[in-house]
């Protein structure tokens, strides 16, 4: 039977799979493609130069043994590297011979110097040039900790997972831990809390918090100054990397590529990665699939709007920290009237305390009503999914239970699709969360509903009227 590049490589993979961990195989061998077989030389395509160097450094012996089994003692392995620069211009394919055959040198154009940096004092992108400081500052805010991140039904999973990660960074199945949810629900607070507890419990670990926006700026700067390799090496020595608002990498191909390699290195070496996002991985747009798949390796935990009891606890905790007493009826009034997110709730409390102090007035229910009225008036209102279902059900003269039911009757299905459409448009909830709250559907059902509503709005005049009527009811 004649051998092909694919058949030889498939046999090599069978051997390799039996000799490394499942995670290592998935990370470093699944992305490889067999390209061609010439005599006893097998060419394989790898995603980047970093990928090639990692294989050479960690798996060259394994590759040599597996290939020798298939092609004999004179077997050769040729790497084909498809290089892409930050701005999307394709560079030529480059073929390299592994270290076991280094005498053959390069078969095509050379590329820039390898990532290996023999200088242990790597350039730190957080250090201002001219200032001698080799210590890596964590960039953490100690005021954001688990003690003042109160637990409730809306955040229990995320908080518990955060504590597990903080107690055993890199040693749980929550790697990466991705915390997602709408604005002001505590994503950044929880991310800092994880880092703060790790630094407290493991002082020797290198912990770094950074926003995705700042990470992107640093990367662009490293490309301009031609020290991209130092940038990558700096992030590879981090023990716990916390990246806030990871969805901001959307559309940034170069930054995504470099983060992909940093992520792989950290994950492969048992380091912990914590990410936050305003949406679930399934809802992220313009993020490469290979990166999204890695976001799903660990746990994605959603933060939802806090319930009444949690809001009461948040208010009482805030008042305790500020040394302020407030009657129970005022606490309950605030909790009942500001439901959107925690940031707005705390903002209203601060406003109330400030008015009371400046005007030297006692905190009364009337003062609270006045503050809340002004506060809510100047705050963009976000309707809840529960409220949307109620409005849609009333409009079509049915109850919410019917709207959420499994029936396939056309008018009920359309009502349900409209509820999903407006939930996506008017709330910060993920598709998965919307589906879960509207009859235990999955994210694909919600996505289909939104597309159906868009289509029917342009082709069916009566349906367009439904959309316009409901839009006025929900946004007025």
Task: Give the gyration radius of the chain's Cα atoms.
Answer: 28
- Give per-residue burial for 172-203: e unless 16+ CB within 10 Å, then b: bebbbbbbbbbebbbbbbbbbbbbbbbbeebe
Specify if 34 maps to a domain.
Answer: yes
Check: CB of residue 88 under 8 Å from CB of residue 131.
no
Is the same domain home to 433 and 357? no
The string of pLDDT tens digits covering residues 354-363 is 766 665 666 7
The string of pLDDT tens digits covering residues 148-166 is 887 777 788 888 999 999 9
Question: Given pLDDT bands bounded at 50, 70 and 90, which one contains residue 6?
Answer: very high
The string of pLDDT tens digits covering residues 273-287 is 999 998 888 777 778
Query: Which of 377, 389, 301 is closest to 344 using CA atoms?
Result: 377
The string of pLDDT tens digits covering residues 167-221 is 999 988 888 999 998 777 788 999 999 999 999 999 888 899 999 988 998 898 8
Q: What is the pLDDT of residue 116?
A: 34
- From 287, 303, 319, the end of a domain falls on 303
Specify if 452 maps to a domain.
Answer: yes
Specify if 212 maps to a domain.
Answer: yes
Question: Given pLDDT bands bounded at 50, 70 and 90, which one contains residue 100?
Answer: very low
Here the CATH number for the domain that contains residue 262 is 3.40.50.300
- Give per-residue burial for 99-120: e unless 16+ CB within 10 Å, then b: ebeeeeeeeeeeeeeebebeee
Is the same domain home to 183 and 251? yes
Here the CATH number for the domain that contains residue 93 is 3.30.300.180
Is the same domain home to 201 and 91? no
Dist. CA 394–CA 403, nearest whole Å:
10
Is the same domain home to 187 and 240? yes
Is the same domain home to 350 and 455? no
Is the same domain home to 415 and 298? no
Is the same domain home to 85 and 42? yes
Question: Given pLDDT bands bounded at 50, 70 and 90, which one contains residue 305?
Answer: confident
Is the same domain home to 368 and 404? no
Q: Specify the DSSP class assigned to residue 89.
A: P
Specify if 57 maps to a domain.
Answer: yes
Specify if 202 maps to a domain.
Answer: yes
- From 303, 336, 355, the end of a domain falls on 303
Here the CATH number for the domain that contains residue 410 is 1.10.1750.10
Residue 368, pLDDT > 80, answer no
91 against 372, higher pLDDT: 372
Residue 85, pLDDT > 50, answer no
Mean pLDDT of 412-429: 91
Dist. CA 292–CA 207, nearest whole Å:
23
Residue 422, pLDDT > 50, answer yes
Check: CB of residue 428 under 8 Å from CB of residue 278.
yes
Is the same domain home to 16 and 89? yes
Is the same domain home to 419 and 326? no
- From 303, 318, 352, the end of a domain falls on 303
> How many structural domains is the chain composed of?
4
Instruction: Tell me what the pLDDT averaged over the chain comes to.
Output: 79
Q: What is the pLDDT of residue 234?
A: 85
Specify if 242 maps to a domain.
Answer: yes
Is the same domain home to 216 and 317? no
Q: What is the pLDDT of residue 50?
A: 65
Q: What is the pLDDT of residue 331?
A: 81
Of the CA atoms within 13 Å of residue 295, those in its CB half-sphere come to: 27
Tell me which residue range forms the domain holding 325. 308-377
Specify if 114 maps to a domain.
Answer: no
Residue that has been written with the tokens 């020798």 in this structure: 68
Specify if 110 maps to a domain.
Answer: no
Q: Which helix (H) or strand (E) holds 176?
A: none
Residue 38, pLDDT > 60, answer yes
Mean pLDDT of 421-438: 86
- Give per-residue burial for 131-162: e unless 16+ CB within 10 Å, then b: eeeeebebebeeebbbeebbebebbebbbebb
Q: What is the pLDDT of residue 114?
A: 30
Length of the chain: 476
Q: What is the pLDDT of residue 209?
A: 93
The string of pLDDT tens digits covering residues 309-341 is 777 877 777 777 766 677 777 788 877 777 666
Is the same domain home to 91 and 172? no
Query: Which of 475, 271, 315 is closest to 391 using CA atoms?
Result: 475
Question: Given pLDDT bands bounded at 50, 70 and 90, which one contains residue 240?
Answer: very high
449 against 103, higher pLDDT: 449
The pTM is what? Answer: 0.50
Dist. CA 288–CA 43, nearest whole Å:
25
């Amino acid at each position: 039977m004649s051998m092909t590049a694919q058949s030889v490589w498939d046999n090599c993979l069978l051997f390799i799979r039996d000799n490394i961990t499942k995670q290592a195989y998935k990370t470093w061998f699944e992305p490889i493609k067999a390209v061609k077989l010439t005599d006893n030389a097998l060419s394989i395509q790898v995603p980047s130069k970093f990928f090639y160097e990692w294989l050479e450094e960690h798996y060259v012996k394994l590759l040599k043994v597996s290939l020798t089994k298939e092609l004999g003692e004179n077997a050769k392995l040729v790497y084909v590297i498809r290089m892409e620069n930050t701005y999307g211009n394709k560079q030529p394919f480059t073929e390299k011979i592994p270290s076991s055959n280094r005498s053959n040198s390069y078969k095509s154009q050379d590329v820039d110097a390898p990532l290996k940096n023999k200088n242990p004092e790597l350039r730190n992108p957080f250090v201002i040039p001219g200032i001698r400081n080799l210590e890596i500052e964590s960039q953490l805010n100690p005021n954001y900790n688990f003690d003042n991140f109160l637990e409730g039904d809306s955040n229990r999973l995320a908080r518990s997972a955060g504590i597990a990660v903080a107690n055993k960074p890199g040693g749980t199945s929550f790697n990466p831990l991705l915390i997602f949810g709408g604005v002001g629900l505590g994503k950044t607070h929880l991310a800092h809390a994880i880092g703060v507890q790790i630094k407290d419990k493991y002082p020797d670990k290198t912990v770094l918090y950074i926003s995705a926006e700042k990470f992107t700026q640093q990367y662009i700067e490293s490309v301009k100054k031609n020290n991209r390799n130092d940038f990558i090496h700096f992030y590879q020595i981090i023990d716990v990397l916390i990246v806030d608002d990871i969805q901001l990498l959307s559309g940034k191909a170069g930054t995504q590529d470099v983060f992909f390699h940093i992520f792989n290195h950290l994950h492969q070496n048992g380091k912990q990665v914590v990410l936050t996002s305003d949406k679930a991985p399934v809802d992220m747009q313009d993020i490469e699939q290979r990166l999204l798949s890695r976001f799903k390796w660990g746990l994605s935990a959603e933060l939802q709007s806090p319930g009444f009891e949690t809001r009461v606890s948040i208010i009482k905790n805030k008042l305790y920290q500020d040394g302020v007493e407030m009657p129970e009826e005022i606490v309950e009034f605030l909790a009942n009237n500001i439901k959107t997110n925690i940031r707005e709730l705390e903002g209203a409390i601060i406003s109330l305390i400030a008015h009371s102090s400046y005007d030297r007035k006692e905190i009364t229910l009337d003062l609270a009503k006045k503050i809340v009225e002004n506060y809510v008036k100047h705050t963009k209102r976000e309707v809840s999914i529960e409220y949307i279902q109620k409005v849609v059900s009333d409009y079509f003269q049915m109850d919410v239970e019917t709207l959420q039911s499994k029936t396939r009757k056309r008018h009920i299905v359309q009502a349900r699709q409209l509820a999903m459409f407006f939930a996506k448009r008017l709330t910060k909830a993920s598709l998965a969360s919307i589906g879960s709250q509207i009859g235990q559907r999955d994210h694909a059902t919600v996505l289909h509903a939104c597309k159906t509503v868009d289509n029917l709005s342009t082709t069916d005049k009566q349906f367009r009227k439904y959309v316009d009527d409901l839009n006025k009811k929900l946004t007025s």
